[in-house]
Structure 1
Amino acid sequence: MTTSQPLLHIRDLHVTFPTDDGLVHAVNGMDLTLARGETVGLVGESGSGKTVTSQALMGLLKETRARVDGEILLDGTDLNSLTEQRMRAWRGKKIAMIFQDPLSAMHPFHTVGAQIAEAYRVHNKVSRKAAHAVAVDMLGRVGIPDPKRRAGAHPHEFSGGMRQRAMIAMALVCEPELLIADEPTTALDVTVQAQILDLLGELQQETGTAVVLVTHDLGVVAEVCHHVAVMYGGQCVERGDVRELFRDPRHPYTQGLLASMPTLGEDGERLRPIPGFPPSLTALPAGCLFADRCPQTHRVPDGRCHTERPAFVTGRAAHPSRCHQETLATAEEATR
């Protein structure tokens, strides 16, 4: 069930890391809105800022050397304004995360059931016995067979798919309002991947949790997401309803991503990679971050693609993109 009232609102998010080579501008003016019960997919190449954005949402950068500017409003509260102690109280209860590798995210010396029960007791004043019962019930809800016995097993005794289910159980045991899933199915085979995605959808329907899905798999986005935000060079370059955006992509980078996907039934068809490399995050260009790789800069005759950052505009499509072509098209329509 979805509502139109935004749960998450990111405004002009910037994240920089100091290094010996200079400041790394990992996220550059990210904006995003998500309603309760909805799923948004963050897509883009490695280094585009997807994971750093999710870490900023979780407040995992507060005790690092990173600088986080902008607003991350969760149900009206700016997460950037919270102290680390207050943020720890919110993690798990209000906002939770499924990590890409559950084996490294879970403690190897404690049983799976004990770790889920501990996560529950952090936010609920219950006995160990009661928390353990909740953990067993949650393992059953995520499809772990014989959950009472499996709760006493250690993470290395689970298969990859079972570990990911256990990670989902730990993330959802306190029924958070916002769930961040960072590449939750990357290391799984396609059959288990489909099961995990179906499970997330079913649990989302039960709890009304909003989901931010970080992934490089556009097929997964098309299957499970309501909205999509395409990231490049730390910026969101295009966002909108997933069906509308896939049907009519406006930004050249989005078009390149979709064109690079393999097509079923086209034996022998060559993949079409995007030529070139992403910009250096320590020396961002003055103009469009995609300009050096873009095959369409000739359509903007005044050369502004290399000298001026494009703004987010809604031009010829029903969703906004960050491209000078759309800016020019909007200006032309305004003069008619």
Structure 2
Amino acid sequence: MTTATDQPLLRIRDLHVTFPTDDGLVHAVNGMDLTLNRGETLGIVGESGSGKTVTSQALMGLLKETRAQVTGEILLDGTDLNTLSEDRMRAWRGKKIAMIFQDPLSAMHPFHTVGAQIAEAYRVHNQVSKKAAFDVAVDMLGRVGIPDPRRRARAFPHEFSGGMRQRAMIAMALVCEPELLIADEPTTALDVTVQAQILDLLGELQQETGTAVVLVTHDLGVVAEVCHHVAVMYGGQCVERGSVRELFRDPRHPYTQGLLASMPTLGDDSERLRPIPGFPPSLLALPGGCLFAERCPQTHRVPDGRCHAERPAFLAAATADHPSRCHLETLTDTAEAVR
């Protein structure tokens, strides 16, 4: 018998996000489907404009007060976040779901000390005194590796270095021990050494708290290092998903293959990088066929011009745990497509 704990913590079903503009509807997310279990890390990768950040904003309910139109289901522990009022969603943020933003300097208030902001986040969900909340903030700053945390808690965000600000943002996101943490490009602006420290810190805190993590990034190297599963987005769609090991060993979608081929190899400067030619489709006027067809080097393998005429379904040729949105998956023998 299946119990509640056997169910995925996060399940996204047919998520669509559109933004009305003077030029028409921008189809930012188009039928996103994902699942994530407790204590696991899911990496969402793709080029800029693929829909990664909009998906994370939809998870946090940050699009409710905009003109965005959000449809589909975002089930967190069985509750559809799309059906919650703004008041209920505000009560969930921080306690059940939290986010680490890409730029902590702009995400933190410049007029309040770091400790006061972390303490305020804690008091929103816990009925404690200001002193008790401040002590929790100091303890959390110490846990994320801030030296002399009691003194640093009284400093302002601009007095922190980039790496320290990111650690403080992590402390604020995890102070109430949420079940789901969304990290939107948390290490993009950091140097390689600090980036590694931040990723190690996230892994250690995740083991302590059992928090599930959605990591939004363009860095496939980071995904290979810290994630259990990965979802590849293109044109607002998830075009391939699977375990990190499966996807890196056997990428099935031509776009995923292109992303991996464009990665530099450490210590090998004998071969030029192979960028993906062309540009992503306009989200104002999506093509009727495969969204990657205009850039895909393998459309000749699919008969009858199907790639340009028909939107492919999310199918799995070898395993249901590694589906790909590509017409090649419908061919029982890919050798027939070459003939």
Q: What is the TM-score of this pair, normalised by structure 2?
A: 0.96
Tell me how far 1:266 sits from its aligned partner.
1.2
Tell me how far 1:4 sits from its aligned partner.
5.2
Tell me how far 1:172 sits from its aligned partner.
0.1
- 1:321 equivalent to 2:324? Answer yes
CA distance in 2, matches of 1:263, 1:221: 15
Tell me how far 1:317 sits from its aligned partner.
5.4
- CA 211–330 in structure 1, closer or farther in 2 if over 3 Å, else same: farther
Residue aligned with 1:212, SS:
strand
CA distance in 1, matches of 2:295, 2:318: 22
Q: Structure 1 stretch 275-284 or stretch 313-322: which is displaced more?
A: 313-322
Residue from 153, 164, 169 that aligns with 1:151? 153
Q: Are the aligned partners of 1:316 and 1:330 in contact in 2 as well (CA < 8 Å)?
A: no
Query: C-alpha offsets along residues 6-48 of structure 1, whole Å, 9 cap, x if unaligned?
Result: 0000000000000011000000000000000000000000000
- CA 313–331 in structure 1, closer or farther in 2 if over 3 Å, else same: farther
Q: Are the aligned partners of 1:316 and 1:329 in contact in 2 as well (CA < 8 Å)?
A: no
CA distance in 1, matches of 2:147, 2:73: 42
Residue from 55, 58, 61 that aligns with 2:57? 55
Instruction: Identify the residue that residue 186 of structure 2 maps to in structure 1.
Output: 184
Q: Are the aligned partners of 2:301 and 2:334 in contact in 1 as well (CA < 8 Å)?
A: no
- CA 79–331 in structure 1, closer or farther in 2 if over 3 Å, else same: farther
Query: C-alpha offsets along residues 197-229 of structure 1, whole Å, 9 cap, x if unaligned?
Result: 000000000000000000000000000000000
CA distance in 1, matches of 2:264, 2:334: 36
Moved over 6 A (4+): none
Instruction: Identify the residue that residue 116 of structure 1 maps to in structure 2.
Output: 118
CA distance in 2, matches of 1:103, 1:302: 52
The aligned amino acid for 1:324 is H
Tell me how far 1:267 sits from its aligned partner.
1.8
Residue aligned with 1:6, SS:
coil
Tell me how far 1:330 sits from its aligned partner.
8.0
Number of residue-to-residue matches in the alignment: 331
The aligned amino acid for 1:321 is S
Residue from 134, 138, 141 that aligns with 2:140? 138
Residue aligned with 2:238, SS:
strand
Query: C-alpha offsets along residues 243-263 of structure 1, whole Å, 9 cap, x if unaligned?
Result: 111100000000000000001
Query: C-alpha offsets along residues 138-193 of structure 1, whole Å, 9 cap, x if unaligned?
Result: 00000000000000000000000000000000000000000000000000000000
Residue aligned with 2:36, SS:
strand
Note the aligned Cα RMSD (angstroms). Answer: 1.4
CA distance in 2, matches of 1:316, 1:73: 28
CA distance in 1, matches of 2:255, 2:277: 11
Tell me how far 1:301 sits from its aligned partner.
1.3
- 1:73 equivalent to 2:75? Answer yes
- CA 109–169 in structure 1, closer or farther in 2 if over 3 Å, else same: same
Q: Are the aligned partners of 1:39 and 1:226 in contact in 2 as well (CA < 8 Å)?
A: yes
Residue aligned with 1:313, SS:
coil
Residue aligned with 2:331, SS:
helix
Q: Are the aligned partners of 2:231 and 2:241 in contact in 1 as well (CA < 8 Å)?
A: yes
Residue aligned with 2:221, SS:
helix
Q: Are the aligned partners of 1:315 and 1:330 in contact in 2 as well (CA < 8 Å)?
A: no
Tell me how far 1:329 sits from its aligned partner.
2.8
Tell me how far 1:328 sits from its aligned partner.
1.8
Tell me how far 1:86 sits from its aligned partner.
0.5
Residue from 228, 231, 235 that aligns with 2:230? 228
CA distance in 2, matches of 1:269, 1:321: 28
CA distance in 2, matches of 1:329, 1:213: 34
CA distance in 1, matches of 2:81, 2:290: 30
CA distance in 2, matches of 1:265, 1:124: 51
CA distance in 1, matches of 2:312, 2:333: 13
Gaps of 5+ in 1: none
CA distance in 1, matches of 2:51, 2:281: 12
Tell me how far 1:331 sits from its aligned partner.
11
- Calculate percent identity across the aligned residue pairs: 90
CA distance in 1, matches of 2:149, 2:270: 46
The aligned amino acid for 2:265 is T
Residue from 114, 127, 130 that aligns with 1:128? 130
The aligned amino acid for 1:323 is C
The aligned amino acid for 2:31 is G
Tell me how far 1:264 sits from its aligned partner.
1.1
Tell me how far 1:230 sits from its aligned partner.
0.1
Residue aligned with 1:11, SS:
strand
CA distance in 2, matches of 1:330, 1:311: 18
Query: C-alpha offsets along residues 63-120 of structure 1, whole Å, 9 cap, x if unaligned?
Result: 0000000000000000000000100000000000000000000000100000000000
The aligned amino acid for 1:89 is A
The aligned amino acid for 1:222 is A
Residue aligned with 1:322, SS:
coil
Instruction: Identify the residue that residue 296 of structure 1 maps to in structure 2.
Output: 298
Instruction: Identify the residue that residue 170 of structure 1 maps to in structure 2.
Output: 172
Instruction: Identify the residue that residue 30 of structure 2 maps to in structure 1.
Output: 28
